[in-house]
Structures are given as C-alpha cells and as structure tokens.
Structure 1
Amino acid sequence: MQFKHPEILYALFLLLIPIIVHLFQLRKFQKESFTNVAFLKKVTLQTRKSSQIKKWLILLTRMLLLACLIIAFAQPFTSKSNTFNTTPETVIYLDNSFSMQAKGDQGELLKRAAQELVESLNPDDQISLVTNTAVYKNTTLKSIQNDLLQLDYAPNQLPYDAALSKSSKLFSQTSNLNRNLVFISDFQEQDKDFKASNDSLYKLHAVKLNPVNIQNVSIDSLSISSTTASNTALQVHLKATGSKNNAIPISLYDGEKLLAKTTAVITDQVVAEFTLTEKSIVNGRIIIDDIGLQFDNELFFNIDEPSQINVLTIHEKTSSNYLERLFASDEFQLTNTSLNQLNYSVVENQQLIVLNELESLPNSLNNSLKAFMKQGGYVIVIPATSSQINTYNDLLGVYEINTKEVIIAEKRVTAINYAHPVYKNVFEKQESNFQYPKVNSYFPTTATNSSSVLSFEDGKPFLLTHKQLAVFTAALNADNSNFSEYDLIVPTFYNLARQSLQTPQLYYTIGKENKFDIQVNLKQDGVLKLANESVNMIPMQQYFNDKVSITTTDIPDIAGVYRIENKTAAIANVSYNYNRMESDLSYQDLSLLTNVEVSDSVSAIFETIKSDTKINALWKWFVIFALAFIIIEMLILKYFK
C-alpha cells in the first residue's frame, strides 16, 4: 500500500491525546458515609470493573476512528508498479501490409485490429500511431479515428527493425514517463526476424494476429517465352501455399476484352501458357480466382510495339560480318560507315555507336563521342591490334580507364560476371566447365570505378563497362580472337545494345528502382507524365537528344497500367504491380522471444497495460471504517452496562 500524501500520517501522533486523557482523568470522587457499607463495597467494586472495560473499549474505537480519518486524508492506494506519479505515453505500430488481408476469426486482420483499437482506447488519450505509410505523432484517437478505420493496405512493408526504430523515436525525451510500445502485426517471415532488444526506455508489447486460413495462390510473374511472326507465347507463373491439387481458373484480358482463359491444377509452382496472335496489348491483365489474399490475384502488363535502337558502327576499311549479323533483327536500325566517310551530324541521332577496330581516334571524333555520351548515348570500343592507344586514352580517360600498349601473348577468357546487368537472366546456372574463348594479343587496361564483365585467367579485364562506355581490351577479328565463334557473343552485344535504349518491360514492381527510356523529342521545358483514369503524376526524368530516361521508385503506389503522356498525347504505356513477397503466408514464432509481452488480441494487451498502470484508491474504505467505529462507539455507550 502506498500513500498519495504520506506527510499527513504524522497526524497519527494525535492518537496520544485520547490515551493521555483516559489514563490521567482529572475527575475526583466524593465520599459518602453509610451506616452499613458491606453491601455497598461489593456494588462499588463491580461498577468500577465494568466502567474500566467500557472506557478501554471507547478508547480503542476512538483511536481507530481517528486513525482511519488520518489515513483516509493521506489517500492510500495500491498498484502493480510505481506509476502514480508518472505520465503514460503509448506508441502503436499497426502493420497495414498486404498480408494483413488474411481472414481472422472476425474478418480481415487489419480491419479487426483497427476496430479493436477504437474500442480499447480512450478517445482523449494521447497516443502516437505508426503505419507503413503514415505517422501520427502526439495525437488522440478522436482526431485520427476516421483515418484509422479507413486505413488502406500498403504495397511495401517496413522491415521489423526499421518499424521498431521508427516507432521508438516517437517517444518524448521527458523523464518520469510510463512508456509502452504496442507492435501489431501478423509477423510474417521476412529476411530479418522480429527481435526485441532490452530497451529500458519503453516496454514492448507484441500483438500477433493469427489468420484462420493460410491457403493462398498468387500470380508470381509473367514472361514472354517465344515470339514469332504470327504469335507471342506468354507464360504465367503461379505459386501456392497451403493445400494443393485444386483447379483454379486463369483469365487473360486486354482492358475489358477477354482474350483467353484456361485452368491450372495447383501445386507448389505452376506455369500456364497463353498463345496470342496480337502484336501489342495496351491494358493487359492476368486474373485468377482465389479466396486467399486479394492483392496478388491480378497482374498488369502491356506489350507495346518495339522501338528500334539506332546503331552506328564505325570501321576502318571493311565492316565485320559478325556485327551485321548481331544487329540484323527488327529491333535495331543498323548503319555502317567507314571513318573517312563519317557524317558527324548523324551521331546525335544514334543510341549506340560501335568503334570497330579503328587504328586511331581523331580529336573531332573524340569530342563528338564525349558530347554523345553526355547526352545519354552508349559507346562500345573494340580496338585494333595495331591501334594507336594514346588516341583512345583521351576518350577512355573520361571514365578513368587507362590502356597501355599491346602485348602479344595468348590468353583465355575464363571468368564471367554473372551478376552484371549485361548477363541478367541470361544463364540458368553458373557454368564451370566450358570451352573458353581466347585472344592472341591484348591491351593491358586499368580502371578505377569500372566493373569487369568478362576477364582473362589472370583476372585482368577482357570486357569492362562504366556508365555509357563498354571497352574490349582485345581485337575481335578472326585473326586475333575466336570470341565471335562462341554463343556468348550474342547476349553480350545484344544486352549492351539494349542498355542504350531501355524500352519499358512487360511490367515493373512498385517500391523498387525502375528505369526505362522513352524515344521522344521534347520541346524546351517539356515533361512526361504518368497517368491513368484516377491519377496524374510527374516522375523523375532526364532529357537527352532523342529520348527521356525515367526513374520511378515510390510512385506510382497503386498497381495498374499507366499512360506516358507528352502534354495530352499518350506516347507509350507502362505497367506496375505489387511486390509478391507477402504472398507466402509463413509466420514467425514469437514464443522464444524475451523482453517482450506477446498477446494475440489488441483489446487484451490494452487491458494488461491499463491494469499495470491502474491505481486502486483505498481512502473510501477508511472513511467507511471510520463511520463503522462511530456506530460501534454509540452502541457501546448505549448498550454496554
């Protein structure tokens, strides 16, 4: 038991007063003479004994009465902790990621959690609320109740450590506070598990919401498996958790037009294929009918007419046949020219320029190529065996690449950088046993910030890249190298060329950094916009001579097909989809965590917090006891004979 005003307890010394009064009574007895006092002595003794007992009972009741009144004014109370002189402070993290769409006992986990928060909190209590998309600091439930009940799902979930850090920073620095952090989530498995550190600043409460059904089928990805002159084959990849062997319908739409429909029997991973005769699909959608999570039942995509990449090859005397074969497809517009016939005015209209074994680079060409790369153009350098390398270093030095004189020695190309963007999605696995290309001479090259794509057996680069520049360190003609005879040359040059004009893919993932180019000539101060029926936004973009490079990360935040507009004219389409990481309904076990109080109910955790901080006032009981002692004293005075 504790006291709100313990200083009043000093008044208990007043209990000495009735003791003194009773022990030292000042009343004097008067003697009377009787003829026969034998009988009177007996009566006097009996009366005195009864009087003494009555006096001690009255003394006791009065002391207890006075003590109860003093203790009542001191305001006694009981509590589980010493919180009577502290101010409560509560921070709530509410996970509104897509996995919270799963159904619990009383509906969707997120909606039920929001409703329980409204029911458990006092409307005027000061709280701070954190979600994956918003922060409400030092507010009240009354102020944010509508926002809380209408909270929508977020496409990207904060990592657990980031959510804890973000929430804990909302606590004030004021001392003498009773801090509680309530972390509400389904605790789906992430790259890093939820861990509770022993933080003395606050007490951590974890509310783990459990779905009643963990079965879910999702559209994992979409790809073009093959393309011919008459049709295009699309592969839809599905993933499932929970029960299997159920048949699920898959529909393919272009806008509201149904193009095809099929059914797949669900296993861990399923691939369904559609064959299309359409060359382009503007508003493509893949839809499945699944009762699990809803965000992953639809995938948006678009297939636009491919934009041709303008490729210019500059050679000394004769062009290379392998380059003509590599760029012979409809995706490229190839122009071959010799150095002495080069028209410099066409340089700025290209996306890729290949310097094909030139003996030397004139200053005029160097200056033109530097300006070309500043405008976003890409250059591939293939030296000749007899190249005057000092004329190359003027161009290569822009990117801190230095090449020395040729060395005549045979070397094999043995190392492939599989993680390099040039070989992204090229290899299904890393090859360790294959016949290596070789060269008979090479130029030793050093580079500060460049990355090697292909390397010799001694680790020196055979092909390196930096920004818009790709450099081979050896001639590729048949007399010096057999690299052109290997299949590896096809993805190497193809992907180098594709990087020069990154046309939009089938779709992009919201929350990741996405880059693509749009071929357009903008007027001064012109900008491109992303738009659909409901939103209109301006993404981050950089304008070059004949293209605009667009980069998106946080926008858009809603899945769909968006038009790329120049003023009011739609010039292309781009699709965005939600990340599928949350489609796997696997959850972390919190039972082994320490320094955290775990519950499966929002209302239960707030009842616990309230009981921990609740003060049970006892002064009313002592007032009742005081009244009881008054009544007891009255009864003693009246009925005790």
Structure 2
Amino acid sequence: MQFKHPEILYALFLLVIPIIVHLFQLRKFQKESFTNVAFLKQITLQTRKSSQIKKWLTLLTRMLLLACLIFAFAQPYTASKNQFNTQPETVIYLDNSYSMEAKGEKGPLLKRAIQELIENLDPEAPISVVTNTTSFSNTNLKSIQNELLQLPYAPNALPFEAALLKSEKLFSNKPNSPKNLVFISDFQEQQKPFSKPLDTSYTLHAVKLKPQVESNVSVDSVAVTGKELGKLKLRVFLKATGPTAGTVPVSVYNNQTLLAKATIDFSETNVTTFTLTENHIPNGKIVIEDAGLPFDNVLYFSLNKPEKTKVLHIHHQDNLDVSYIERLFNNPEFEFSTTFLNNLNYSVIENQQLLILNELTTIPSSLINAIQSFIKRGGYVLMIPNSLANLQTYNAFLEPYNMVMQAGITSEKRVSKISYAHPLYKNVFEKQETNFQYPKVASYYPVKANTSSVALAFEDGKPFLVTQNQLALFTSPLNKTNSNFSEYDLIVPTFYNIAQQSLKTARLYFTIGEENSFDVPVAMQADGVLTLHYNEQTTIPLQQYFNNKVTITTTDIPDVAGFYQVQDKQNPISTVSYNYARAESKLSYQNLENLEQVQVSSAINTAFDTIKSDTKINALWKWFVIFALVFTCIEMLILKYFK
C-alpha cells in the first residue's frame, strides 16, 4: 500500500492524546457511607467494572475512527509502481515492412494491427509511434489516426536493434516515469535475432502477429544469358517459401504488351528461359500469379540500346603482339581504337572512357599530365608495364596514386590467388576455385601499394593486379614471351569488367534501399541537371558531371518500384528500373518463447491489457471513510446500549 500524501500520517501521533487523557483522567468515584453496606458494596463493584470496560471500548472505537480519517486524508492506494505525479509513457513500434502484407485471420497483418490499435488505445492518451519510415512523437491516437490508416508498406524492414534504438529515443529522461515499449511485428528472421537490450528503463512488450499460411512464391531475379542471331535469351529465377501450388504461370511484358508466357513446375525446377525476338525492352516486367505476398509478384527490368564504351589502346613497339587485346574488345559493346604512342592525338583522350597503356618503355610527361587530367574527369586507365620500363617515368605517373614500382625481378611465378570479393570478380565465379591451371610469368615488378586493392596475386602474396580507384596496374608484362595469362579464360572477365567500370551503364534493374550507381554517356553544360521521372513525380538524384558522362547515384530515393525515365530537361535519354528487395519474401519467423525480460503476446489487446493492469491504481481512501462511519455507529451503540 502506498500513499499520495504520506506526510499526513504524522497525525497518527496525535492518537496518544486521548490515551493520556484516559489514563490520567481527573474524575473519580465518590464513596457514600450507609448502614447496611453488604448489598451496596456489591453494586458499587459491578458498576465500576462495567464503566471501565465501556470506557475502553469507547476509547478504542474513537481511536480507530480518527485513524481511519487520517488514513483517508493520506489517500492510500495500491499499484505495481508509483503512478502519482508521473505520466506513463508508451512508445509503439509498428512494423510496416512488406512481409506484413501476409494475411492473418482477419486480413493483412499490418491493416489488422492498425485497426486493433484504434480499438484498444485511448484517443486522448499520449503515445509515440515508430515505423520503418516515419515517426510520430508525443502525440495521441486522435491526431494520427488518419496517417496510420493510410500507412504505406516499406520496402525494407529496420534491423531489430535499429528499431529498438529508434524507439528508445522517443522516451523522456524522467527517471520515475513508467515506460512501455510495444513492439508489433511478425518477427521475420534477421541476421541478428530480436532481444531486449541490457540496462533499459522500460518494459518491452513483443506482439508477434502470425499469418495463416506461411507460403510464398516470388520473382527472385532475371538475367540475359545470350544474344544469338538477333534473338535474346532471358532467364527468370523464382524462389518459393513453404508449400507451393505446384505450377506457377510466368509472363514477360514490355509495357502492356505480352511478349512470352510459360509455366514453372516447382517439383522439377524454379528456372525458365524465354527466347525473345526483341533486343530493346525499355519497360520490361516479369509477372507471376501467386496468392502469397503481392509485392514480389512483379519484377521490373529495362533493356536499353547498349551504349558503347570507348576504349583507346596505346602501345609502343611495332612488333608487340596486341592481337589478344583486339580480340577482347571486338564486341558491339565497345568502340575500340588503337594507336602508337608516337602517333597519339592527345585531343582524343578526353572523349574516351578507358585508356590501355600497353607495355610502354617510357611515359612522356605530356602523356602523364593528359592521363591525370583524364582520370580527374572520371576516366579509367589500365596499365601494363614493359620489361624494359623506365621506372623513373613510371613512378612519376604512379606517385599521386600511392604506388611505387621497384626494380624488375626475373623469376617464374604463378598467379594463384584471386580476390573473389574484389569488384572486378563480383558475380563472376559461382564458387571459389581451388584446383585449376594457374597462369605464370617469367618476370615481374614488385609494387608497393599500401592503399590499393589487390585483385590478383602470386603464390607468395605479392600483387599481380592492383587497383586504386580508377587505375588498374599489372605488375608484369602480358606478352607471350613473358606470360601465358592471355591464354587463360581469367583474362576475359578481368579486362571486360575493367572496361565496364569505366562506363557503368544501367543494369537490368536496381534494388531500392541499396547504393546504386550508373553512368549516362551525355555531354552537358556546367549547370545542366539530369532528372528521374516516374508517372507525375520528378526526382533530382545525386549526380556528378564529367567530360563526356554523368554519374548518377541513388540510395533511399526512389522508393517506389517501377520504371524511371532519365531526362535532360524534357529530352528522354534512357530508362532505368527499380525493384523492392526480396528479403521480405522469405516467410521464416523467429521463436520468441525463450526470450528473457520480454513480455510476449500474440494479440495487441493482450499486450495493452497487461500494461493497464500493471499501471492500474486501486484507491483505498473510500474504504477508510466507510470504516470511520462504521466505528462511529459502533461508538453510538456502545454509549446507548452497553450496560
């Protein structure tokens, strides 16, 4: 039992006064002499005993009466916590990720959760609400009810730790204020499981919403696997969670035009390949029919007319075998040109995307200045040294990039280490190869490159191919006399991806929420701006202008899946596609039964009933007033009827 005004309890000491008065009362019985005292003495003794009992009973009832009045004015109550003079704080985290589209017993989990919040919350009570995309701080249900009813789904769910941290920040710093965090989610499995942080001042209530059916089929990815005889091969990959319906129809569209249709039987495969006559599909989409989550039934992609990457090959010796480089870039994706150093027209450098310096014996200072300016404007350089290289001129070029070439060493070495995580080899290998024929070199240049990234290395760990931002450097000549690297398949993805990095044309599609970057080959004025257009919306993305291209970078924006047209003022240039991440498609959930210091429930009303019972105040002052009246009646009965 607690008291709202405990200081009034000091008045209980005043109950000593009637006790003192009773014990030291001044009134005494008077004795009267009488001739026959035998009878009178007996009556006197009986009267004195009755009087003493009556007085003690009267004293007791009056003291209890006064004590009840004092307790009533102190306003006693019972509660799990001290609730007086404090305002309870409630923060609600509402998971609005796409996995909450799954249907429960009464409809989609998110929509039903919002309806139950409206039914269980006091419209005027102060609350704070956090979602994956928005926050409502120090408000009430009445003010945000319309926003909650129109709350959109978010493409990415916050990690549990980030969601808890975001919610914690909405609590005040009042030490005695009761704090409750209601975490409403389906608790889809994440890399780091859900748990309560240590040393928190709030009570965590986890409300786990469960869908009726835990099955879903999604369009996982799409890839172009080949172009032959004017036909395009498009491979579509599906992914399923839980039991599937067996066969799933798959359709390919360009805008609203149906290009092809097939059926995938999941008992046999989850992949299908379409052969299309169209090579230019700017507004393509893969559509499946599935009763699970709706958001992942469509995947948008854009296959624009390919932009050619301009590659300039500069070499020095007339007898140098450059046929392997010419074969590598003999592709419609590249605009390849080659020249001797003596015949180089420096004015054409600024119009290129990639320069290949192939085994130059010396690098003139004029070329060094031109290349450094070229790199500053966004160009890429691939450098292959000569076995008779003038290291002074080489290092004059490499010094700004924190690289130093040392004297050459004639020693046969094998190229046996591949950095599979390097951007050049991302998505090149299905698995890490451990047993294959390694290329070898007869001589090489040791290179000190502390800030560079090693893509290929010799068996002793020394670098064979290092990259530093827009510069790639081989440490050994690649001619057939010194190396057999040009005879191995590894050279194809190496040179191809270096060239692709020099002009990062838009991929088939991008994923919303990730950092995406692509180049638009366009010459613009200094104050020109490229925009992304989606329906009636126009977005200005982060962009960097170079001499002959613009690099566009997007992260959180755009946030809606679909086709976006890249425009220069009102002139359309190309189309890019964005899709939601497929992480929400996996309907796999965390078990919360063994969580410590977390009150777990399966319904929102259960969680709020628990909060109400924890913070309920039982006022007891009325009972003490009733007791005071009872003792008053008892006293009156004693005075009137006690003989």
Q: Name the TM-score, length of structure 2 as normaliser.
A: 0.93
Partner Cα separation in structure 1 for residue 162 and residue 257 of structure 2: 43
Partner Cα separation in structure 1 for residue 438 and residue 13 of structure 2: 102
Q: What does 1:110-129 align with in structure 2 at a 5 Å threshold?
A: 110-129=110-129
Partner Cα separation in structure 2 for residue 444 and residue 122 of structure 1: 73
Aligned-pair CA distance for 1:112: 2.3
Residue deviations 1:427-450, cap 9 Å, x none? 222222222212222222221211
User: Is the 2:216–2:244 Cα contact (8 Å) retained in structure 1?
Assistant: no
Q: Does 1:625 align with 2:627?
A: yes
Against the structure 1 CA distance between its residues 236 and 30, is the aligned structure 2 distance closer, same or farther, given a 3 Å change threshold? same
Which deviates further from its counterpart, 175-184 or 41-50? 41-50
Instruction: Report the secondary structure of 1:571's partner residue.
Output: strand
User: Is the 2:216–2:586 Cα contact (8 Å) retained in structure 1?
Assistant: yes
Aligned-pair CA distance for 1:32: 11
User: Is the 2:248–2:263 Cα contact (8 Å) retained in structure 1?
Assistant: yes
Q: What does 1:596-635 align with in structure 2 at a 5 Å threshold?
A: 596-635=598-637
Residue deviations 1:199-228, cap 9 Å, x none? 143222222222222111111111112222
Q: Name the TM-score, length of structure 1 as normaliser.
A: 0.93
Q: Does 1:235 align with 2:235?
A: yes
Q: Which residue of 2 aligns with 1:297?
A: 297
Q: Which residue of 1 aligns with 2:429?
A: 427
Give identity over the alignment, percent: 61
Aligned-pair CA distance for 1:547: 0.6
Q: Which residue of 2 aligns with 1:10?
A: 10
Q: Does 1:591 align with 2:561?
A: no
Partner Cα separation in structure 2 for residue 60 and residue 452 of structure 1: 95
Q: Which residue of 1 aligns with 2:359?
A: 357
Against the structure 1 CA distance between its residues 470 and 17, is the aligned structure 2 distance closer, same or farther, given a 3 Å change threshold? closer
Instruction: Report the secondary structure of 2:430's partner residue.
Output: coil
Aligned-pair CA distance for 1:398: 2.2
Partner Cα separation in structure 1 for residue 43 and residue 27 of structure 2: 23
Q: Which residue of 1 aligns with 2:100?
A: 100
Aligned-pair CA distance for 1:58: 4.3
Pairing partner for 1:342 from 324, 344, 351: 344
Q: What does 1:24-39 align with in structure 2 at a 5 Å threshold?
A: 24=25, 26=27
Aligned-pair CA distance for 1:353: 1.2
Aligned-pair CA distance for 1:618: 0.4
Q: Which residue of 2 aligns with 1:256?
A: 256
Q: Does 1:286 align with 2:313?
A: no
Against the structure 1 CA distance between its residues 379 and 19, is the aligned structure 2 distance closer, same or farther, given a 3 Å change threshold? closer
Which deviates further from its counterpart, 502-511 or 150-159? 150-159
Aligned-pair CA distance for 1:62: 3.2
| Aligned residue identity for 2:330 | A
Q: Which residue of 1 aligns with 2:393?
A: 391
Partner Cα separation in structure 1 for residue 458 and residue 427 of structure 2: 23
Partner Cα separation in structure 1 for residue 341 and residue 376 of structure 2: 22
User: Is the 2:417–2:457 Cα contact (8 Å) retained in structure 1?
Assistant: yes
Partner Cα separation in structure 2 for residue 256 and residue 190 of structure 1: 37
Aligned-pair CA distance for 1:138: 2.6
User: Is the 1:311–1:354 Cα contact (8 Å) retained in structure 2?
Assistant: yes
Residue deviations 1:162-184, cap 9 Å, x none? 22222223332333322222222
Against the structure 1 CA distance between its residues 66 and 249, is the aligned structure 2 distance closer, same or farther, given a 3 Å change threshold? same
| Aligned residue identity for 1:96 | N
Q: Which residue of 2 aligns with 1:310?
A: 310
User: Is the 1:348–1:372 Cα contact (8 Å) retained in structure 2?
Assistant: yes
Residue deviations 1:354-383, cap 9 Å, x none? 112222111211111111111111111122
Instruction: Report the secondary structure of 1:177's partner residue.
Output: coil
User: Is the 1:359–1:384 Cα contact (8 Å) retained in structure 2?
Assistant: yes
| Aligned residue identity for 1:602 | I
User: Is the 1:197–1:595 Cα contact (8 Å) retained in structure 2?
Assistant: no
User: Is the 2:385–2:474 Cα contact (8 Å) retained in structure 1?
Assistant: yes
Instruction: Report the secondary structure of 2:504's partner residue.
Output: coil
Q: Which residue of 2 aligns with 1:192?
A: 192
Q: Does 1:205 align with 2:205?
A: yes
Partner Cα separation in structure 1 for residue 389 and residue 545 of structure 2: 35
Instruction: Report the secondary structure of 2:416's partner residue.
Output: strand
Q: Which residue of 1 aligns with 2:528?
A: 526
Instruction: Report the secondary structure of 2:557's partner residue.
Output: coil
Aligned-pair CA distance for 1:85: 4.6
Partner Cα separation in structure 2 for residue 476 and residue 42 of structure 1: 137
Against the structure 1 CA distance between its residues 200 and 466, is the aligned structure 2 distance closer, same or farther, given a 3 Å change threshold? closer
Q: Which residue of 1 aligns with 2:442?
A: 440
Superposed CA RMSD? 2.5
Which deviates further from its counterpart, 306-315 or 442-451? 442-451
Instruction: Report the secondary structure of 1:292's partner residue.
Output: coil
Pairing partner for 1:413 from 412, 415, 425: 415
Q: Does 1:504 align with 2:502?
A: no
Q: Which residue of 1 aligns with 2:479?
A: 477
Which deviates further from its counterpart, 3-12 or 484-493? 3-12
| Aligned residue identity for 1:201 | S
Partner Cα separation in structure 2 for residue 20 and residue 399 of structure 1: 99
| Aligned residue identity for 2:521 | Q
Against the structure 1 CA distance between its residues 465 and 20, is the aligned structure 2 distance closer, same or farther, given a 3 Å change threshold? closer
Q: What does 1:149-188 align with in structure 2 at a 5 Å threshold?
A: 149-188=149-188
Partner Cα separation in structure 2 for residue 14 and residue 226 of structure 1: 100
Partner Cα separation in structure 2 for residue 46 and residue 603 of structure 1: 68
Instruction: Report the secondary structure of 1:364's partner residue.
Output: helix
Against the structure 1 CA distance between its residues 268 and 617, is the aligned structure 2 distance closer, same or farther, given a 3 Å change threshold? farther
Instruction: Report the secondary structure of 1:296's partner residue.
Output: helix
Which deviates further from its counterpart, 197-206 or 222-231? 197-206
Pairing partner for 2:493 from 485, 491, 505: 491
User: Is the 2:156–2:584 Cα contact (8 Å) retained in structure 1?
Assistant: no
Aligned-pair CA distance for 1:156: 1.6
| Aligned residue identity for 1:255 | N
| Aligned residue identity for 1:95 | D
Partner Cα separation in structure 2 for residue 435 and residue 71 of structure 1: 93
User: Is the 1:529–1:538 Cα contact (8 Å) retained in structure 2?
Assistant: yes
Q: Does 1:558 align with 2:546?
A: no
Instruction: Report the secondary structure of 2:178's partner residue.
Output: strand
Aligned-pair CA distance for 1:153: 1.4
Q: Which residue of 2 aligns with 1:246?
A: 246
User: Is the 1:244–1:268 Cα contact (8 Å) retained in structure 2?
Assistant: no
Partner Cα separation in structure 2 for residue 257 and residue 276 of structure 1: 13
User: Is the 1:399–1:466 Cα contact (8 Å) retained in structure 2?
Assistant: yes
Partner Cα separation in structure 2 for residue 389 and residue 540 of structure 1: 40
Instruction: Report the secondary structure of 1:515's partner residue.
Output: strand
Residue deviations 1:449-477, cap 9 Å, x none? 11122212222222211111111122222
Against the structure 1 CA distance between its residues 71 and 361, is the aligned structure 2 distance closer, same or farther, given a 3 Å change threshold? same
Against the structure 1 CA distance between its residues 426 and 20, is the aligned structure 2 distance closer, same or farther, given a 3 Å change threshold? closer
Instruction: Report the secondary structure of 2:88's partner residue.
Output: strand
Which deviates further from its counterpart, 403-412 or 441-450? 403-412
Against the structure 1 CA distance between its residues 32 and 274, is the aligned structure 2 distance closer, same or farther, given a 3 Å change threshold? farther
Instruction: Report the secondary structure of 2:357's partner residue.
Output: strand
Aligned-pair CA distance for 1:27: 8.0
Partner Cα separation in structure 1 for residue 10 and residue 351 of structure 2: 96
Partner Cα separation in structure 2 for residue 65 and residue 266 of structure 1: 82
Partner Cα separation in structure 1 for residue 521 and residue 42 of structure 2: 129
Instruction: Report the secondary structure of 2:8's partner residue.
Output: helix
Aligned-pair CA distance for 1:284: 1.2
Partner Cα separation in structure 1 for residue 266 and residue 443 of structure 2: 56
Aligned-pair CA distance for 1:634: 4.2
Residue deviations 1:6-62, cap 9 Å, x none? 2323333444555566664748779798x9999888888877776666555544443
Partner Cα separation in structure 2 for residue 364 and residue 496 of structure 1: 25
User: Is the 2:217–2:244 Cα contact (8 Å) retained in structure 1?
Assistant: no
